Chains A and B, each alone.
Chain A
């Protein structure tokens, strides 16, 4: 099958896409992890013998773009292809080999047919607990939980009891994590059956010719897209809150012919607090930002990203070295897309967005529920305003670049002894501009517990708010308060009975000069009370 017709290729490719989505769906349905079920915090992929990914689930989240091939290649260095046998499953959650924190467990499974590997099925899924005691003040990666080195969790179809025992003894919820792991084994079996069915239906032995076409067409498409851009080097530099002193994220994009090089040279060195990011996560978010700006429909496969290189100096915030703590990798990694957009704005201003109120905000509440007599741990997510776009305002409180939804307050209050007293837009928080940034939101929580609740907070954009683009103004900075007094943005804070904690997320940056704002939009903002008469937007 060296010369495959475009009609047939299209149909096989479509079927592969549907097949991997089915596999992922059947896993999601049975997963214990709430972030897997509700936010699709997982990815399934098919990769070839060289570790090139050719199909990935359409539902997976940005931080998993392009990381599985890197993990598979690292695994194959430990267990080369000739040491693998049918029924093997290899596992690791090493932050440097996987997606950048221990909670994401990656596994791969060689699919043998007639004695040879025709593909690898791979998956990454978030697990709620990975042991350890991650804290906002962690000094190194060893505090962050159990690291599973590359090992064989299933050998020729038989679970390795030693590996399972290590997991069993080091996790707080081993049944749930192992349940998810075993659900992925079942998903690999399903992927194998469906792949064999496809090969049988098509009367072919392997997918080599199909994979070659998929990768080369994807690559050619991305190369054409890049070739349409003017050559040159475009850079951006942003200052971010950091832990106890400001840090720099610097991004240079070099467009040469049909290739793009993204380099983060000039970014601050890593620090001994868990805001560092590993290279895989930096790579994933750089590719994500380029895909959003250049071709949102580009397939997630190695071909699409072959014309793109991403580099960052060894030991910097965005390419941290062991044993840096990386638990809060999103606190620096979520700056990658705005840094890429900032640089791209100099060449394709009509295809990017101003900065959003991210990195993602969340609070862990931990305490004791007197009503049930049981301890509780609950994570609450809240998003800032979205950055303005080239032809429209930024939506209020939309998750970017991650995609995490909020939880209904009515459900939250049923689970924890906290009363939410407001969840509201804050006027004058969206950056001014021809198009306005999305407004921030404010949430207040009053403790109705009888004992103190510990809040774990890791918030950015308290000092340096989201910037506007092309003359647009910045959004407002975020604020963390207890009883009206400011509290540290990265800390564990006790909330006593009756205390009120207030969190105000950052507002999105504006785009274009405020003087160019169409009068009817300005009037609508005033009528809605999003911009008050005595102040332009923040």
Chain B
């Protein structure tokens, strides 16, 4: 890649499309930001790339590849803008998609609404066929009926079809046959098979996943084709890669087969950025904390990699409540998301106490201090009143904040009803939202059998660094790694991600008596498919690595744990080693072992290319103005407002160390350093904060 000096990462967010251009030879990073174009998101991407290349005088031919993180898939599901889709199921089961799991996500709300299925009942069809749990055919597929249905749908306004047969993850023959019949009788229809999209056990979740994939696929295919053509037209010879939800990237040709795997494409970039910054600072156990305007997300990074899960929910209908969205069985970075952002609204609850979020003033009308008509106090208003944010330097001074409006809102809605000062009320808002986030992240870690205390916090997002120290203190975390450019972290994360593709294949069996011959053939086949995909993404065979693991539990348990294995262990039919590894992982998570038989639920294979070796250029440190300002900032530790030095991030030299209280400002974010914390620059350009 001698001519490919540059790589570009593009992350589309709700308001802005962020771009980073990395010079691979020097490590220099150039950022760009353009307004997102919701009607056609590719326009902002192409305009942004064109502007960035022109601004820095980079010839398009010198760009190696463009890696893209997109919210297109998530938005199409949230806004229900996919194509009209049909579902074909085993006879007797077309309503599984609507019946769901039958539990209420809110115990007390009698008026709760369940998410309507993406396919309405009249577009759900049944075919006669039945497989046994072991995959044997009990009732053969009625092919004549399949052909008739294909012809019927070809003549309708249906644009995509999902096929979900019971136990098809164990034997895809009937689903594949339907696809073949459709190819013959309804050649224009986009057909997705559950055994391809999500070969996992659980008919409802698999149906939901296959349907969502079918629903967004035509849109996504068109979008990617247009974008790829646009990039070629710009003169960038190489191709477009996309970020998957689990933090791997793939060539566009693989991405369009499984668009549902891009549902968390952007947030995965943020987690990868945190991993990168941790790696550069020599830390591998991290808690990535991404706080924006509407929500906060937290993700554990272990051994330098974002932790993953294979279950996700998109388009939650109610207050981010688990169970109120559409479940997806796809590999994703495991994140918790709560309604706690800069725009989160503070109010008094029925107990007469401060409650923050989960609803947000978002960008319209926005926090009261934006002066756009918002009258409800938000977290940003509180942060402004406390001196954490500066009225004159928000977004580099491009957006003046109105302290009086912030104070008026807090006074009217919180302080006066409580009979306290506006500053006390602001402190209450700040602490309440921080405690919300601390609890959510702590419980998220506990659910994974982890304790947050041992992790380093990496704050990103516009509001992350404002709350980071206070959050860390509440969780018992003593060290922070604060990256530069926290506001465009996701785009950089795209560049830091390896090309990788993951397969999960369900195959429920007791470990005792496991059919290893079949399992070995199966995982070898998955690895071969992964290698093919990576080869198509320009990864050389020699640079590919395959990782194997098995999801296991004790018979009768409801949770699986992931046990890493080698192919050799599988090939040697070494059940004893697997049992031993399982016992170790289980003990690690739960602190004990059970005297019960283990069973295997599914197998996981990830084929990975090399992780890009990014080194960032920190030589800009100290380049900015060293002039220090000072302002009054509120700290509980000092009992109130304290004169606090304000540093410009790019004005800090590579050797300066600071002690709190201090404020470090950059264009898109502000780092608040309370008393009791020290700051030192790291060679990577990151700041390391330690609690003394």
Whether A423 and B96, one on each chain, are in contact in the complex, defined by CB atoms closer than 8 angstroms, is yes
Q: Which residue of the partner chain, among B92, B104, B559, contacts A403 with CB atoms under 8 Å?
A: B104
Of A25-33, A71-79, A324-332, the one contacting chain B is A25-33
Whether A392 and B111, one on each chain, are in contact in the complex, defined by CB atoms closer than 8 angstroms, is yes
User: What are 13 of the A-B contact pairs (CB < 8 Å)?
Assistant: A17-B439, A18-B435, A22-B442, A25-B443, A221-B350, A390-B111, A395-B113, A398-B104, A408-B203, A413-B167, A414-B508, A421-B92, A424-B93
Known interface pairs A10-B354, A29-B446, A299-B351; A422-B428 also in contact (CB < 8 Å): no
- Bound CA–CA A389/B205 (angstroms): 27
Task: List residues 343-380 of chain B with CB under 8 A from any CB of chain A.
Answer: 349-354
Interfacial chain B residues near A423, Cβ < 8 Å: 92-93, 95-96, 99
Task: List residues 2-20 of chain A with CB under 8 A from any CB of chain B.
Answer: 5-7, 9-11, 13-15, 17-18
Interfacial chain B residues near A292, Cβ < 8 Å: 108-110
Known interface pairs A292-B108, A299-B351, A400-B104; A5-B166 also in contact (CB < 8 Å): no
Q: Which residue of the partner chain, among A22, A26, A34, contacts B557 with CB atoms under 8 Å?
A: A34
| Extra contacts besides A62-B107, A293-B110, A409-B93 (10): CB < 8 Å | A6-B352, A29-B590, A30-B590, A37-B558, A38-B558, A295-B350, A296-B110, A389-B111, A408-B201, A422-B91
Task: List residues 265-310 of chain A with CB under 8 A from any CB of chain B.
Answer: 288, 291-293, 295-299
Interfacial chain A residues near B130, Cβ < 8 Å: 419
- Bound CA–CA A5/B590 (angstroms): 40
Q: Tell me the count of chain B residues lying within 8 A, CB to CB, of chain A.
A: 68
Known interface pairs A29-B447, A218-B351; A397-B99 also in contact (CB < 8 Å): yes
The reply to whether the CB of B408 lies closer than 8 angstroms to some CB of chain A is: no
Residue on B with the closest CB to A417?
B133
- Bound CA–CA A425/B94 (angstroms): 9
The reply to whether the CB of A411 lies closer than 8 angstroms to some CB of chain B is: yes
Interfacial chain A residues near B138, Cβ < 8 Å: 419
- Bound CA–CA A138/B589 (angstroms): 42
Interfacial chain A residues near B107, Cβ < 8 Å: 61-62, 403
Of A140-148, A231-239, A472-480, A526-534, the one contacting chain B is A526-534
The reply to whether the CB of A21 lies closer than 8 angstroms to some CB of chain B is: yes
The reply to whether the CB of A169 lies closer than 8 angstroms to some CB of chain B is: no
Residue on A with the closest CB to B103?
A405
Whether A15 and B425, one on each chain, are in contact in the complex, defined by CB atoms closer than 8 angstroms, is no
Shortest distance between the CB of A410 and any CB in chain B (Å): 5
- Bound CA–CA A423/B102 (angstroms): 13
Q: Which residue of the partner chain, among A37, A403, A408, A422, contacts B202 with CB atoms under 8 Å?
A: A408
Known interface pairs A11-B435, A405-B102, A406-B101; A25-B352 also in contact (CB < 8 Å): no
The reply to whether the CB of B427 lies closer than 8 angstroms to some CB of chain A is: yes
Binding site for B on A (CB under 8 A): 5-7, 9-11, 13-15, 17-18, 21-22, 25-26, 29-30, 32, 34, 37-39, 61-62, 175, 179, 217-218, 221, 225, 288, 291-293, 295-299, 351-353, 381-383, 389-392, 395-400, 403-406, 408-411, 413-414, 419-425, 441, 444, 527-530
Interfacial chain B residues near A352, Cβ < 8 Å: 110
Whether A11 and B432, one on each chain, are in contact in the complex, defined by CB atoms closer than 8 angstroms, is yes
Known interface pairs A38-B558, A410-B203; A30-B591 also in contact (CB < 8 Å): yes
Whether A409 and B166, one on each chain, are in contact in the complex, defined by CB atoms closer than 8 angstroms, is yes
Q: Which residue of the partner chain, among A18, A29, A395, A409, contacts B442 with CB atoms under 8 Å?
A: A18
Whether B353 and A10, one on each chain, are in contact in the complex, defined by CB atoms closer than 8 angstroms, is yes
- Bound CA–CA A180/B154 (angstroms): 56
Whether A22 and B446, one on each chain, are in contact in the complex, defined by CB atoms closer than 8 angstroms, is yes
Residue on B with the closest CB to A529?
B121
Tell me the dominant secondary structure on chain B's binding face: loop
Whether A15 and B110, one on each chain, are in contact in the complex, defined by CB atoms closer than 8 angstroms, is no
Interfacial chain B residues near A408, Cβ < 8 Å: 201-205
Whether A425 and B95, one on each chain, are in contact in the complex, defined by CB atoms closer than 8 angstroms, is yes
The reply to whether the CB of B145 lies closer than 8 angstroms to some CB of chain A is: no
Shortest distance between the CB of A497 and any CB in chain B (Å): 15
Interfacial chain A residues near B313, Cβ < 8 Å: none
- Bound CA–CA A61/B349 (angstroms): 23
Residue on B with the closest CB to A393?
B113
Interfacial chain A residues near B205, Cβ < 8 Å: 408
Whether A7 and B420, one on each chain, are in contact in the complex, defined by CB atoms closer than 8 angstroms, is yes
The reply to whether the CB of B114 lies closer than 8 angstroms to some CB of chain A is: yes
Interfacial chain B residues near A441, Cβ < 8 Å: 95, 99
Give per-residue flags for B74-91: 1 if the beta carbon is below 8 A from chain A beta carbons, else 0: 000000000000000001
Task: List residues 129-157 of chain B with CB under 8 A from any CB of chain A.
Answer: 130, 132-133, 138
Q: Which residue of the partner chain, among B114, B166, B167, B427, contacts A395 with CB atoms under 8 Å?
A: B114
Q: Which residue of the partner chain, among A9, A297, A528, contacts B350 with CB atoms under 8 Å?
A: A297
Whether B446 and A34, one on each chain, are in contact in the complex, defined by CB atoms closer than 8 angstroms, is no
The reply to whether the CB of B639 lies closer than 8 angstroms to some CB of chain A is: no
Shortest distance between the CB of A236 and any CB in chain B (Å): 17
The reply to whether the CB of B55 lies closer than 8 angstroms to some CB of chain A is: no
Give per-residue flags for B481-504: 1 if the beta carbon is below 8 A from chain A beta carbons, else 0: 000000000000000000000000
Whether A15 and B203, one on each chain, are in contact in the complex, defined by CB atoms closer than 8 angstroms, is no
- Bound CA–CA A209/B395 (angstroms): 44
- Bound CA–CA A299/B166 (angstroms): 43
Residue on B with the closest CB to A391?
B111
Interfacial chain B residues near A22, Cβ < 8 Å: 439, 442-443, 446
The reply to whether the CB of B283 lies closer than 8 angstroms to some CB of chain A is: no
Residue on A with the closest CB to B323?
A405
The reply to whether the CB of B235 lies closer than 8 angstroms to some CB of chain A is: no
Interfacial chain B residues near A21, Cβ < 8 Å: 439, 443
- Bound CA–CA A18/B446 (angstroms): 12
Whether B557 and A411, one on each chain, are in contact in the complex, defined by CB atoms closer than 8 angstroms, is no
Whether B99 and A175, one on each chain, are in contact in the complex, defined by CB atoms closer than 8 angstroms, is no
The reply to whether the CB of B556 lies closer than 8 angstroms to some CB of chain A is: yes
Whether B166 and A410, one on each chain, are in contact in the complex, defined by CB atoms closer than 8 angstroms, is yes
- Bound CA–CA A37/B556 (angstroms): 11
- Bound CA–CA A12/B167 (angstroms): 50
Interfacial chain A residues near B201, Cβ < 8 Å: 408, 410-411, 414
The reply to whether the CB of B98 lies closer than 8 angstroms to some CB of chain A is: yes
